[in-house]
């Protein structure tokens, strides 16, 4: 059977998530490498205070994702598919061998610094459940403004009726009310303090593209699925472009998930600390197995994955 590793984005973080990673040589080596690369102890990134920083969150999620991918690989579990939502794509790229971990960490830190500097306060994201993308787009267009900073943008299409929007705080509050009036089941502010995945980050994207030009990227082992189109990317240059530009483009996660299922992925493992991607997979593709690493006993992760793969082969 075929394994897919999926990596959550910002908003999945929770206090202490790095300290709940498995006690495994691969995890310890990953934490040590990350600390040496960045020049500080990365296990300090998961406190309540630290997680108020976009920079800490994005680095922490990358470290956790790579630690889990390396743990599974060390135990003989190499995935055929790798995909990450937003910053989760960086761990996916490391996992499939497209970029070195140290280079990915430096790129994530630069990405997060550019995002935080672009809009240091007054912006964020809201998850809308119960309306589709067309309905969300129509609601956004119903309140036209000449000021791009006051618009609401479709940021993530996580599932057909789970859409995340980005924008200024006041615009998001007003939009959430309109969405609920239009039949949305829920409008939930998520733990992101920047307007990710929209044109408000075009300038930051241009800077990251220029910054990343000299980073070495390679063709992936297995299938790397991109954020912008839910497509498999075969070359290092294409993966570099996906990572460098995804912060200013809509993330089409459901397209990525669908491609993996239709291409034969049968067991999905979501890296810590989230379960949102697991829940989406279970709801829309109940015929596959979806496991959240954060919901499994850390010392049993590899054994559970092996058993589920074996059960499907039986």
State yes or no: is 196 an active-site residue.
no
| Angle 30-32-37 from CA coordinates, rounded to 5° | 95
Collapsing DSSP to helix, strand or coil, 192 comes out as coil
Which residues face 290 on adjacent strands?
Answer: 268
Task: Choose the catalytic residue: 24, 35, 129, 197.
Answer: 197
The H-or-E segment that residue 155 falls in is: strand 152-159
CA–CA gap between residue 71 and residue 284 (Å, rounded):
28
DSSP 251: B
State yes or no: is 86 an active-site residue.
yes
CA–CA gap between residue 163 and residue 49 (Å, rounded):
28
Task: Choose the catalytic residue: 86, 196, 248, 294.
Answer: 86
End-to-end CA distance of the chain: 10
CA–CA gap between residue 222 and residue 96 (Å, rounded):
6
Burial, 4: exposed, middle or buried (Cβ in 10 Å; 0-12, 13-18, 19+)? Answer: buried
Q: Label residue 183 left, alpha or beta by phi (over 0 means left) and psi (-120 to 50 means alpha).
A: left
List active site positions. Answer: 86, 197
């Amino acid at each position: 059977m075929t394994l897919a590793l999926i990596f959550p984005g910002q908003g999945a973080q929770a206090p202490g998530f790095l300290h709940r990673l498995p006690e495994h040589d691969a995890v310890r080596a990953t934490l040590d490498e990350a600390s040496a690369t960045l020049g500080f102890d990365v296990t300090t990134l998961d406190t309540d205070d630290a997680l108020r920083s976009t920079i800490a969150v994005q680095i922490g999620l990358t470290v956790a994702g790579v630690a889990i991918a390396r743990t599974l690989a060390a135990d003989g579990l190499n995935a055929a598919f790798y995909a990450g939502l937003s910053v989760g794509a960086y761990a996916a790229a490391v996992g499939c061998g497209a970029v070195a971990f140290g280079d990915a960490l430096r790129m994530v830190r630069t990405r997060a610094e550019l995002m935080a500097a672009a809009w240091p306060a007054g912006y964020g994201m809201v998850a809308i459940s119960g309306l589709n993308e067309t309905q969300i787009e129509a609601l956004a267009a119903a309140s036209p403004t000449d000021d791009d900073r006051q618009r609401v943008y479709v940021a993530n299409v996580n599932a057909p009726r789970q859409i995340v929007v980005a924008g200024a705080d006041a615009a998001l509050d007003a939009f959430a009310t309109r969405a609920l009036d239009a039949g949305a089941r829920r409008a939930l502010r998520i733990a992101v303090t920047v307007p990710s995945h929209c044109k408000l980050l075009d300038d930051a994207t241009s800077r990251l593209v220029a910054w990343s030009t000299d980073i070495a990227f390679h063709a992936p082992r297995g299938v790397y699925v991109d954020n912008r189109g839910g497509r498999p990317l075969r070359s290092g240059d294409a993966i570099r472009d996906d990572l460098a530009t995804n912060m200013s483009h809509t993330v089409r996660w459901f397209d990525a998930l669908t491609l993996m299922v239709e291409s034969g992925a049968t067991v999905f493992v979501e890296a810590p600390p989230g379960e949102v991607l697991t829940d989406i997979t279970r709801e829309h593709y109940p015929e596959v197995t979806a496991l959240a690493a954060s919901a499994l006993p850390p010392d049993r992760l590899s054994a559970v994955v092996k058993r589920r793969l074996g059960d499907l082969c039986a």
